[in-house]
Amino acid sequence: MSDQTPAAPEASAESELDATAGPQPAEMTLEERFQMLAEELAGARDKWLRAEAETANIRARAVREVADARQYAVQKFAADVVEAAENLRRGLAALPAAAAAEPELLTKLRGGFEGVEKSFWAILERNGVARRDPTGEAFDPALHQSMAEQPAPEGVEPGTVLQAWSAAWTLNGRLLKPAMVVVASGAEKPDAA
């Protein structure tokens, strides 16, 4: 065995770092040292400002997401209720027109259904659910689902909603159910024979 001991690996690593670290504070002038510290301070301040901005953005996003979750938590339920509202409207439309000679029971039944419908609409409106009939409006694929096209009648622009099979429904401005519509297409061209 030899009496020589190998150099410690830590010591050689420190000497390599010292060689690559650049000028040491003792070798710098006061102005150079001041400039170096000012740059370090500016870098640290920039990192701090960026971290603060990111934290503020995260907080704002969390507040917005909580507000959205509260406002739209009932969206699935509201979409189901809207189906019931549409069915109630269709049921009322299916009743025969009021006639002077109709039985009193039918008159009371119609009045009861109409009262339930009015109450139902009021409840929906109070909770931010709105119904919109797009008949006569320009077709908007974000709000309407085209179910059919018909030639545009005279005086009607192509792309106009001619008829709504069902209305568009929104919850606090967000679409729940698109309107099912018939859209005016370009005028039919006569056959050239």
Task: Specify the CATH number for 75-185; select among 2.30.22.10, 3.30.70.330, 2.30.29.30, 3.40.120.10.
Answer: 2.30.22.10
Q: Per-domain residue ranges for the chain?
A: 27-72, 75-185
| pLDDT at residue 188 greater than cutoff 70 | no
pTM for the predicted model, two decimal places: 0.58
Name the pLDDT band for 17 (thresholds 50, 70, 90): very low
**Rounded Cα–Cα distance for residues 186 and 77 (Å):** 39
Q: What is the mean pLDDT of residues 82-100?
A: 86
**Rounded Cα–Cα distance for residues 110 and 96 (Å):** 9
What pLDDT does residue 76 have? 85
